[in-house]
Amino acid sequence: MDATQLPVALASAPPLIAVHDLTKRYEMGSATQRAAGQGQNVHALRGVSLQIARGDFVAVMGASGSGKSTFMNVLGCLDRPSSGTYQLEGQAVEHLNSDALAALRNRRIGFVFQQFNLLPRASALENVELPLLYAGVKPAQRRERALAALQRVGLGERTGHRPTELSGGQQQRVAIARALVNAPELVLADEPTGALDSQTSAEIMQLLSSLNAEGVTIVLVTHEPDVAAWARRRLMFKDGLVVQDEGNGVRFQLKPTDEVTPKNWNLTPINEKGAP
Ligand SMILES: Nc1ncnc2c1ncn2[C@@H]1O[C@H](COP(=O)(O)OP(=O)(O)O)[C@@H](O)[C@H]1O
Ligand SMILES: [Mg+2]
């Protein structure tokens, strides 16, 4: 390719994530109530539209119940939106069946959770090998790749330990190694430091930050401004909508008096330099 064409090619590459007018409704109440149309709807997402570039590092913030985990579950193909579109690398995923979604998850996305979600009776090595087992990788290669992932997170000496024999920070490192072992382009972390003290949190953020520097796109949910400060871009959720998007070249911010509706949040882009 001619070097002068490069910026155009880059500009036309699809973002890693593109969601448009995403909504998620949960219907509550008994089956009978729902059948009679008397169930209560919870609108967990009310129209989220945004893009996330490959290689970005995004913090998702907002009060409890604002839709952060629902958003992450949709991004992670763990759950389907009620309406709206979701393209992962330009591929529409909202209509894929469960098998296709599972395959996509396994190949492209790593997950990290607040409570680590490790198998208690399995060693660190076995926990990290698990996604490779699902992917049908042969034992010798599973072991080699899991060992490399554990070394990457600084746990090369602890591969035979079970979760109960490891500190919280070490358990989260095992979980990060498990998320990395399939070499995903996207890591989704839902409050990864929520169960850790501040020193250990900083160490985990240092690790995620160095993975991001190596090109892994990271989206993480956090309540803590200290943790969000590690990210390049910060999204603020409120009542199922993004009400602030900071660090993305353009910022969106609603005035405190504005009613939050799906229509008004994205109509007021503010240039970083303050130009209208
Ligand atoms: N499986 C579910 N069934 C019913 N309601 C749910 C479910 N998951 C989440 N909700 C509701 O959706 C809203 C958003 O939840 P969630 O995405 O977990 O928020 P956050 O992660 O920001 O705390 C909340 O009102 C919550 O009670
Ligand atoms: Mg949550």
Question: Does ligand 1 come within 6 angstroms of the Cβ of 29?
Answer: no
pLDDT tens per residue, range 50-67: 999 999 999 999 999 999
Question: Is the CB of residue 76 below 6 angstroms from any atom belonging to ligand 1?
Answer: no
The first and second tokens of residue 147, run together, are 């060992």
Asked whether residue 11 carries a pLDDT value surpassing 60, the answer given is no
Predicted confidence (pLDDT) per residue in 203-229, tens digit: 999 999 999 999 999 999 999 999 999
The SS3 assignment for 111 reads strand
Return the residue whose CA atom lies nearest to atom 13 of ligand 1: 44
Please give the number of the atom of ligand 1 that sits closest to the Cα of 24.
Answer: 12
Rounded-to-integer distance, Cα 257 and Cα 235, Å: 19
| Class of residue 225 by CB neighbours under 10 A (exposed 0-12, middle 13-18, buried 19+) | exposed
Strands (DSSP E) found in the chain:
17-28, 40-52, 57-62, 83-88, 91-92, 109-113, 186-190, 217-221, 233-238, 241-248, 250-253, 269-271
Ligand 1, atom 2: closest residue by C-alpha: 26
Residue nearest to atom 16 of ligand 1 (CA): 67
Those residues whose beta carbon sits under 5 angstroms from the ion ligand 2 are 68-69
The ligand placed nearest to the CA atom of residue 194 is: 2
**28-32, 119-123, 126-130: range with lowest mean pLDDT:** 28-32
Shortest-distance Cα residue to atom 24 of ligand 1: 65
List the end-to-end C-alpha distance of the chain, in Å, as a whole number.
37
Of ligand 1's listed atoms, the one at least distance from the Cα of 64 is 23
Digit-coded pLDDT (tens) for 151-200: 999 999 999 999 999 999 999 999 999 999 999 999 999 999 999 999 99
Of residues 112, 109, 122, 127, the one with CA closest to residue 217: 109
Pick from 269, 186, 156: which is nearest to 17 by CA?
Answer: 186
